[in-house]
Amino acid sequence: MPVSSDYLNYVLEQLAGLGGVSARRMFGGVGLYCEELFFALVDNDTLYLRVNDDNRADYTAHGMGQFRPYADRPEVSMTYYETPAEILEDPAQLVVWAQRSVAAALAAAMAAAKPAAKPPGGRPGRAGTPRTRPRG
């Protein structure tokens, strides 16, 4: 869905206290980054912030819904929730909520970067490759 320049500028002004925020257009919407962490998105002139188990209750307590990218597939949702209007309109509160979303994005990035577990049997090796003794 389209994102108007006026709405995007408003959101960026409200988030100015967070620092290091940049916007990148993508798939008809806009991704918001704090440094290199993707912590929010704007779609159809609505701000959605990243959530995890640490901050989801803030959104559900306000009755806010998840971002659903496909109108014809409402069961598909993402880890982003709509920002309550009263939070969006208060820059100090929005920065607090955005900081928690940045923390959620950082936790997800760290979880994704964890090294794979070692294969069973002790020594790491290439899976499916038989070990042979050198000839000589």
**pTM, rounded to two decimals:** 0.76
Q: What is the pLDDT of residue 37?
A: 93
pLDDT band with cut points at 50, 70 and 90 for residue 112: confident
Span 120-136, average pLDDT: 56
Q: Is the pLDDT of residue 103 over 60?
A: yes
Q: Is the pLDDT of residue 56 over 70?
A: yes
Q: Give percent above pLDDT 90 in the chain.
A: 54
Q: Is the pLDDT of residue 118 over 70?
A: no
Domains of the chain: 5-112 (3.30.1460.30)
A 10 A CB-CB count for 98 gives: 25
Q: Is the pLDDT of residue 132 over 60?
A: no
C-beta of residue 60 within 8 angstroms of C-beta of residue 79: no
Q: What is the pLDDT of residue 27?
A: 79
Please provide the average confidence, as pLDDT, over all residues in the chain.
83
pLDDT band with cut points at 50, 70 and 90 for residue 85: very high
Structure confidence by residue, pLDDT tens digits, 30-53: 999 999 999 999 998 999 999 999
DSSP bridge partners of 38? 33
Crossing angle of helices 5-14 and 91-113, in 10° steps, is 90
3-state secondary structure of 87: helix
